[in-house]
Amino acid sequence: MPMNLLRRHATSALVALLLSNLALQTANAGTISWVTVGDPGNPADSSLYGNVSSSFQIMQYEWTNSLYAEFLNAVDPNGTNPNDIYNSSMGTNVRGGISFTSGAAAGSKYAVKTDMGDKPVNYVSWFDAARVANWLQNGQGSGSTETGAYTLNNATTGNAPAVNAGAQFYLPTENQWYKAAYYKSGGTNAGYWAYTTGSDTAPTAVSANSTGVGSAGNTGNFVNAANTADWNGENGNVTTVGTNGGPSPYNTFDMGGNVSEWNDLTGLIAGSARGTRGGNWSGNVNGSLFSTRAEQIPTNETNGIGFRLASSAVVPEPSTWVMGLAGIACGGWQMLRRRRAQ
């Protein structure tokens, strides 16, 4: 084959690979917004957390009720609640965000409650979050929730398994979560902030409007006697993701308040405990502080715990012309909304 034809063939193959990979990520990630956490090889801070050897991606916002309802309707269209992926408190508790109607049509039995679609999902266990990771790993839709990133084998209790090698979507390690929340970025010796809002000054408690949209600034959704997120008739409540607490230097939001988030404890291969980090609407400002961490039984489901996922499935940033082709082939590059680390 002539050299110029070989080059054209190789270029076509590369473009096809990029488009295929992009299509996979668009299918897997939907409209989830991911941010890149770079500066690989940064040291840990004085608390011994935050060292991460390679770049990774993490969700910019917490997993929402809308996303979780989509997951439920996809994997449980008939409402049989396999592996207890739906907690009825999501519907009965005013701070829960998803209702269940047994008589609704298949694939639409789970619905977000009024003004709750953009709020973080709660009443989810570590096992529920791991099943979402498997679902993404397997292409969404009717993809398996039991294998992929984690081998669960229908387990809903007991020890949480370790993440499988090669997983593309997973619960962040504690070091990854910590780095995304506190590291200053911009180099491998940039240092750490004390709070998740990119500041050494303690944030103030967020306020909320009548639909649960938080206020801007160095804020977090946690309890403060003078100013809490009071809406929907509640003295404190979850608020719209991205409207309280943030951004961190890597442009993540809500890591210091709203709901605490599941992580895989650093150095814990498998066992009865998993970690949570970050404050929540019923806690105090110390939940946003770098030194605050907790261990939880992985079956715990409360209205103060949710999650965000991390990903190793980074799509290479192509040139402008490849991005144009990708938009035609996949319905738009912007669906990924991937951002460079700052």
Residues 257-285 have pLDDT tens digits of 899 999 997 555 556 789 999 989 998 88
In angstroms, the CA 65 to CA 30 distance is 15
Quick one: what percent of the chain has pLDDT higher than 90?
66
Model confidence over 216-256: pLDDT tens digits?
788 999 887 566 799 999 989 999 999 987 799 999 999 98
Return the higher-pLDDT residue of 317 and 56.
Answer: 56
Q: Inform me whether the pLDDT recorded for 292 exceeds 60.
A: yes
Closest CA to 135 of 10, 231, 28, 286: 28
Q: How far is CA 232 from the centre of its chain?
A: 25
Residue 79 pLDDT greater than 50, yes or no? yes
Between CA 228 and CA 214 the distance in angstroms is: 10
What's the confidence (pLDDT) of residue 31? 80
pTM of the model: 0.83
- Contact between residue 45 and residue 200 where contact means Cβ atoms under 8 Å apart: no
User: Is residue 1 over pLDDT 50?
Assistant: no
C-alpha angle 173-338-60 in degrees, rounded to nearest 5: 50
Q: What's the order of all strands across the beta sheet hosting 294-296?
A: 294-296, 274-277, 260-263, 305-306
Instruction: Please give the CATH topology (third level) of the domain spanning 31-311.
Output: paralog of FGE (formylglycine-generating enzyme) (3.90.1580)
